[in-house]
Amino acid sequence: MSRRISFAAAIREGIEQEMDRVKDIVYFGIDVRQSPWGFTRDLVKKFGRERIVNTPIAESAIVGTGIGSAMMGLKVVSELMFEDFATLAMDHIYNNMGSWYYMTNGQYKVPLTVITTTGGGTRTGYGHSQALYPLFMSAPGIHVCVPSTPYDAKGLIISALRSDTPVVYSADRILVVSDIQGDVPEEEYAVPISGPPSAVSSQTEFYIQVIPGDTKKGQLVKDVLNRLRELVPDERAALVSQIPQEDMMRVLPAGGGKLNL
């Protein structure tokens, strides 16, 4: 049965259901027992301090601890409060997170989800408002998810937690803090990370491909074709197949500028 819930509540529900199902999931991050974004709000009461772990303000350590714990057999979520601070953990994200499986010829998997919030528009100011997910797209061996609806938010976080491949899960901050709601089933379900983009609307003359955070803008100009669900694996083939040759496509990242797909 579906009901309408917020974007952040959908993420929290997906995390809770998967932590119920898999007892080896642990969650690391700054103030995650209090949960400033609501992803783990009150979950410490249910799962305990051993599974919902407050960390120091040290992004490199948060991701590095996640990598080591995942290699030793746990399923791990490492939360970075702002995507801007992922730059402090880039050595782990670029050189370790997606590489260990291949460097060890499959002996070590890294089932790690790095969840973070991205983009501006929430008055968080300098150093807290960038959209850096294009950087993660060039890191080897990881998936990059960018949900744009509560339905996708829950389904993709469940898929990320079930994946043996490392995932960067980038949640748009406007959607996280907004009261926008969407239909989300109460039961658990997974949106495939390698699945097709979700359709919004189409026009016969001109199309715009909108990345999460710009969905409202795209609807105002009535030129939206699809919402991207994930940036890695690459969805270009699915997108191009839906656009007539004489028409045009733009990609508008929520942080401004353009994303070259």
Angle in degrees, 0-180, between the axes of helices 7-21 and 150-162, rounded to the nearest 10 = 30
Task: Confirm whether 128 is a catalytic residue.
Answer: yes
| First and final C-alpha spacing in the chain | 37
DSSP codes joined into one string, 179-231: --EEEEESS-----TTSPPEE----SS--EEE-TT-HHHHHHHT-EEEE-SEE
Catalytic residue among 128, 162, 217, 250: 128
Do residues 26 and 74 touch, judged by C-beta distance below 8 A? yes
Given a contact cutoff of 8 angstroms between Cβ atoms, the answer to whether 40 and 52 are in contact is yes
Q: Are 85 and 59 in contact (CB under 8 A)?
A: yes
Q: Round to whole Å and give the CA distance between 78 and 76.
A: 6
State the DSSP code for 162. Answer: H
Instruction: Please give the positions annotated as active site.
Output: 128
